């Protein structure tokens, strides 16, 4: 979604420079949502917009997720789930 240039440090810098911003500081943060399948479902169904789906479609998607997650679970029942978030901070040049 949006301008693809915002996905990289160089691209974001190119977008912001004409508006007088210094090159952004860029930090990548790993977010670990691993856990029992039900908890992972609760997390990812809140991140992805399932609101427009019919309740029956959400229920089917949840059931498919929980079934598929069984093969991914470790011996202690944890399903791996993680992603990276880039945090950019830009300041206007003085």
Question: Per residue in 67-89, pLDDT tens?
Answer: 999 999 999 999 999 999 999 99
Please identify every stretch of the chain with a pLDDT value under 70, giving residue numbers as ranges: 1
| Tokens matching residue 9 | 């440090």
Q: What is the pLDDT of residue 46?
A: 83
Q: What is the pLDDT of residue 15?
A: 95
Give CA–CA dist 6/10, Å, rounded.
Answer: 9
Question: For residue 56, what are the contacts with CB-CB under 8 A and spacing of at least 6?
Answer: none
**Overall pTM > 0.85:** no
The domains of the chain are located at 27-87
Q: What is the pLDDT of residue 23?
A: 94
Question: In the block, which residue shows the tokens 């930090």?
Answer: 27
């Amino acid at each position: 979604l949006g301008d693809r240039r915002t996905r990289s440090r160089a691209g974001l810098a190119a977008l912001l420079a004409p508006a007088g911003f210094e090159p952004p500081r860029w930090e990548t943060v790993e977010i670990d949502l691993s856990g029992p399948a039900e908890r992972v479902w609760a997390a990812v169904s809140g991140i992805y917009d399932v609101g427009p789906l019919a309740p029956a479609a959400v229920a089917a998607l949840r059931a498919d997720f929980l079934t598929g997650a069984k093969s991914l679970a470790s011996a202690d029942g944890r399903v791996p789930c993680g992603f990276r978030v880039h945090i950019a901070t830009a300041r206007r040049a003085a």
